[in-house]
Amino acid sequence: MIGAAFTGVVQALVKDIITPLIGIFGGIPDFTSWAITVNGSRFLVGDFVNTLLSFLILAAVVYFLVVTPVTRLMDKYQTAPQPAPTKQCPECLSKIPKLARRCSQCTAQLEAPSDEVAAAMRSVAAPSGEHVADEAARVLVERLQGSDRPAALIPNRQRPV
């Protein structure tokens, strides 16, 4: 609503004050009556000049009273981005994040892995509990049967209950 009211004020300023001032130097007191006729068609050049002047004044006011102050205000309160803290790899001398435990370039181990990572690595490397229990049961069956060959390879032999 304020913008529409301001546009009306600017148009009145151009039509009632600026155009007559320009008309003093140009010899035409009012641009709205300035028209060009070509082959029976009338072009209202003066009305276009008034509208163009209104637009230029309105654009200048918006730029200098709205855009420029807001830009300065945003620049004043904007914080500069902080660079990520880095350290240097002792093996390859590349920059890596400060919290890294292993170099991303040469894969050198810089610090011991965390407890969670170490536990996960142990669980992957070690055989599962089921595998160990199955192997122990197989060896026990072989020893109870007194055979040097595995029980699975002895045909038609009943296993002790």
Give domain limits for the chain.
2-77, 86-151
pLDDT given for residue 121 in this prediction = 74
pLDDT by residue for the chain (161 residues), tens only, comes to 777 788 888 888 877 777 777 777 767 666 777 788 889 888 888 888 878 888 888 888 889 888 999 999 998 888 888 888 888 888 888 888 888 888 888 888 777 777 877 777 777 676 666 666 777 788 888 888 875 555 455 455 455 54
| C-alpha pair distances (Å), 33 with each of 13, 46, 144 | 17, 6, 122
**Domain 2-77 belongs to what topology?**
1.10.1200
Q: What pLDDT is stored for residue 59 in this prediction?
A: 85
pLDDT in the model for residue 148: 55
**CA count, 13 A, side-chain hemisphere, 1:** 0
- Do 20 and 29 form a contact (C-beta atoms < 8 A)? yes
The pLDDT of residue 112 is: 78
